[in-house]
A and B are shown apart, each in its own frame.
Chain A
Amino acid sequence: MPNEFDTALRNAATSVAKYVKDAAMMQVETHYVEVSADGSADFASARPVARTIIKLDGDSEAVVPMRRNEAGVMEVDGGLFELHQENVTTAIEYRARILNALLSTVMARRQTG
Chain B
Amino acid sequence: MNDEELVFNGIDGASGGYLLPPLPPSQIAAVARGEPMDKKEVKELEGWYQFISQGHFGVREGVDPGDLSQAGWGVIFPSSADTRRLDTLREALGELLSLRQEQATGQHEHYFKVYSGPDGYRPGDSKQDWLTRQGVGPGPANPDKVPYYLLLVGDPEEIPYRFQYQLDVQYAVGRIHFDTLEDFARYARSVVEAENITLPKRVAFFGVANPDDRATSLSSEHLIQPLADFLTEKQPDWTIDSLFQEQAMKNNLGQLIGGPETPALLFTASHGMGFPFGDVRQLPHQGALLCQDWPGPQAWKQSIPTDFYFSGEDILQDARLLGLVAFHFACYGAGTPHQDEFARQAFKSSRAEIAPHAFLARLPQRMLAHPKGGALAVVGHVERAWGYSFFWGKAGQQLTVFEDTFQRLMRGERVGFATEKFNERYAELSSDLSSELDEIEAGGTPDDYQLAGLWTANNDARNYVVLGDPAVKLAISPAGESRAVQDERPTIVEVASPPPAPAQPDFTPGGAMPVPVTDGAVEYLSLDSFKQIQTNVSGSLQNFVARLGDFLSRALEDATSLEVSTYVSGNMNAVKYEGGRFSGGQLRAVTYIKIDGDTLICVPEEDGEVDTTLWKIHMDMVAQAQASRADLLKAAVSAATGMVNLLKP
Contacts and interface: CB of A to CB of B under 8 A. Distances in A.
B538 to A, nearest CB: 11
A46 B645 CA distance: 49
A108 B638 contact: yes
A interface majority secondary structure: helix
A23 B591 CA distance: 18
A5 B642 CA distance: 12
B552 A12 contact: yes
Residue among B587, B599, B648 facing the most chain A CB atoms (10 A cut-off): B599
Residue among A12, A98, A100 facing the most chain B CB atoms (10 A cut-off): A98
A55 B71 CA distance: 66
B596 A34 contact: no
A69 interface: no
Interface in A1-59: 1-2, 4-9, 11-12, 15, 19, 22-23, 26-35, 39-41, 43, 46, 49
B566 to A, nearest CB: 11
Contacts of B591: 87
Interface residues of A, number: 53
Interface string A69-113: 000000000111001001101111111011011101100100110
A31 B601 contact: yes
Interface residues of B, number: 56
Interface stretch (B86-94, B226-234, B622-630): B622-630
Contacts of A12: 552, 556
B347 A78 contact: yes
Contact of B546 (A5, A34, A105): A5
A111 B645 contact: yes
A8 B623 CA distance: 26
B615 interface: yes
B598 A39 contact: no
A87 B204 CA distance: 44
A92 B15 CA distance: 12
B528 interface: no
Given A26-B598, A35-B606, A87-B601, A41 B586 contact: yes
Interface in B605-641: 605-606, 609-612, 615, 619, 622-623, 626-627, 629-631, 633-634, 637-638, 640-641
Contacts of A90: 599, 619, 622-623, 626
Given A35-B605, A41-B604, A104 B637 contact: yes
Contact of B615 (A29, A83, A97): A83
B593 interface: yes
A98 B557 CA distance: 13
Interface in B37-65: none
B590 interface: yes
Contacts of A33: 602-605
A3 to B, nearest CB: 8
Contacts of A94: 593, 597, 599, 626, 630
B634 to A, nearest CB: 4
B588 interface: yes
Given A2-B542, A79-B612, A94-B597, A7 B549 contact: yes
Contacts of B604: 32-33, 35, 41
Contacts of B519: none
Contact of A43 (B558, B602, B623): B602
Contacts of A93: 626
Given A41-B588, A79-B610, A83-B612, A97 B603 contact: no
A9 B545 CA distance: 12
A112 B601 contact: no
A1 B646 CA distance: 10
B647 interface: yes
Given A32-B603, A46-B602, A101 B633 contact: yes
B550 interface: yes
A5 B556 contact: no
Contact of A31 (B558, B568, B600, B627): B600
B553 A97 contact: no
A99 to B, nearest CB: 9
B548 interface: yes
B349 interface: yes
Contacts of B602: 31-33, 43, 46
B644 interface: yes
B316 interface: no
11 contacts: A5-B546, A9-B549, A19-B556, A23-B597, A46-B602, A79-B609, A79-B612, A83-B603, A90-B622, A101-B633, A108-B638
- 4 smallest beta-carbon distances between A and B, as pairs: A5-B549, A95-B597, A4-B549, A97-B630
Interface of B: 15, 347-349, 542, 545-546, 548-550, 552-553, 556, 558, 568, 586-588, 590-591, 593, 595-606, 609-612, 615, 619, 622-623, 626-627, 629-631, 633-634, 637-638, 640-641, 644-645, 647-648
